[in-house]
Amino acid sequence: MKKAREHVIKAVEPGSIAEELELSPGDVLVSVNGQPVRDVLDYHYLINEEYLELLVRKPDGEEWELEIEKEYEDDLGIEFENGLMDDYRSCSNRCIFCFIDQLPEGMRDTLYFKDDDSRLSFLQGNYVTLTNMSDEDVERIITYHLEPINISFHTMNPELRCRMLHNRFAGEALKKADRFFEAGVMMNGQIVLCKGINDGPELEASIERLAGYLPYLQSVSVVPVGLTSHREGLYPLKPFTKEDAEEVLDLIHGWQERLYREHGTHFIHAGDEWYLLAGRELPEAETYDGYLQLENGVGMVRLFREEIREELEKAKEQEQSPGAEGRRVTVATGRLAAPILQEAARAVEAQYPEVRVQVLAVENRFFGERITVAGLLTGRDLKEQLSGRELGDALLLTENMFRDGTEAFLDDMTAGELSGALQVPITIVKSDGKAFLEAVLGLEKEEKPKTAGTEHRGKQPYEHRP
């Protein structure tokens, strides 16, 4: 018989209800309102009450019965040692486009773990394929009304989905989305597009079928498959061309116009990479319907441009000046974002002639030249390609390059190690226009950009970064 997992408290948020109750790291949550807690879904559902009874066991074995009166959705301020409060569920698919299968050997073990856990969809916004979700999971999500659920559809053709995911249950799993729709559970979707497989007529058919889930399916993103140079023995996928990108955009724009007329939403969105590959201007901000797919690389460029423009106008009105005369900084990024950051750098220099911003596009030699996003650059590539260059007063790197909560790149080099090797201070910058401008100008503020050695959190790029 499987032993029940103990839910050990890792940290208590200062000023929280848990702190008032004198809960401490090492305490164990036994039950809520007399019910055992299976995992994080149970926990979040059970604590959404105005009156709670907690049973907590202290490290010395003493048990405390605690009564709590609070607002309905107030959090207790508890962080558990295991974020899911249960074992993580590994992926049961063998997708032909899986990025983890394209990793080189010799990286740390955790990078090779494939998750497909619906609870991570609720907690962190991860996308799930539904193939690893039991009927009980579906019922709990519906009962607890946990939303939105983020789903990797890829295609609505059941047979093709089985082939793409290399899982004979992948087509049948789409019926779980029907159940969420019928229950009114909000969803977001994504399609990783593979050339000659789920594009063209298959993509059009998928969009038409997915539009039937409106309004509970809020948005769907279409992003190009990420292909590394480590695909020996894998399905022979081909990269998209400029002409391919134009066709994808034409198809998506046609559906956006139709769905906006009929439903007042654009619904289906193309990842920014399609526009950059096609050499087309990105849509205006209102086309992104509130940027529901930002984490999938949809609208990030447009939003960044808008933020830079607004921050420069605000700085001009406030007559802000750089903190140091003649400031010189370098921004290192992937080839995809380099033209966008170059554009922003020129705008900053136009308003602040005493500032110079050098933008350097770094080639991804670790994963291969087809991987162009900044979030998949390694410390090794940065070190090799920036060594010996004049980098100025600081090197600015986006937080996307680092693992959440750390200063480590994918290859385990740290920002501190890179800073020492290049002999330049490194500033880790949040992915927004305000943070970029403040880091470039060196402005003092209450919450400074993170520097090497500090923790930060960042967005996950859409190429299924581990």
Give the residue extent of every domain in the chain. Answer: 7-80, 100-298, 302-451
Q: Taking 70 as the threshold, does the pLDDT of residue 447 lie above it?
A: no
Rounded CA-CA distance 354/219 in Å is: 44
pLDDT level of residue 74 (50, 70, 90 thresholds): confident
**Which one has a higher pLDDT value, 107 or 143?**
143
Higher pLDDT, 334 or 133: 334
CA-closest candidate to residue 32, choices 50, 12, 53, 48:
53
CATH fit for domain 100-298, picks 3.40.30.10, 2.40.110.10, 1.10.1750.10, 3.80.30.10 = 3.80.30.10
Q: Is the pLDDT of residue 222 over 60?
A: yes
User: Is 38 or 324 the better-scoring residue by pLDDT?
Assistant: 38
Angle at 108 between CA 105 and CA 109, to 5 degrees: 90
Neighbour count for residue 256 (Cβ, 10 Å):
20
Alpha helices in 153-196 (DSSP H): 158-165, 175-183
Helix axes 338-351, 433-441, angle to 10 degrees: 60
Architecture of domain 302-451 in this structure: 3-Layer(aba) Sandwich (3.40)
pLDDT at 328: 95
Statement: residue 43 has pLDDT above 60? yes
Contact indicator for 280, 225 with CB cutoff of 8 Å: no
Q: What's the mean pLDDT when you consider all of the chain? A: 87
For range 28-42, the mean pLDDT: 87
Per CATH, the number for 7-80 is 2.30.42.10
Predicted model pTM:
0.81
Dump strand ranges (E) for 230-346: 268-270, 328-334
DSSP structural state of residue 227 = -
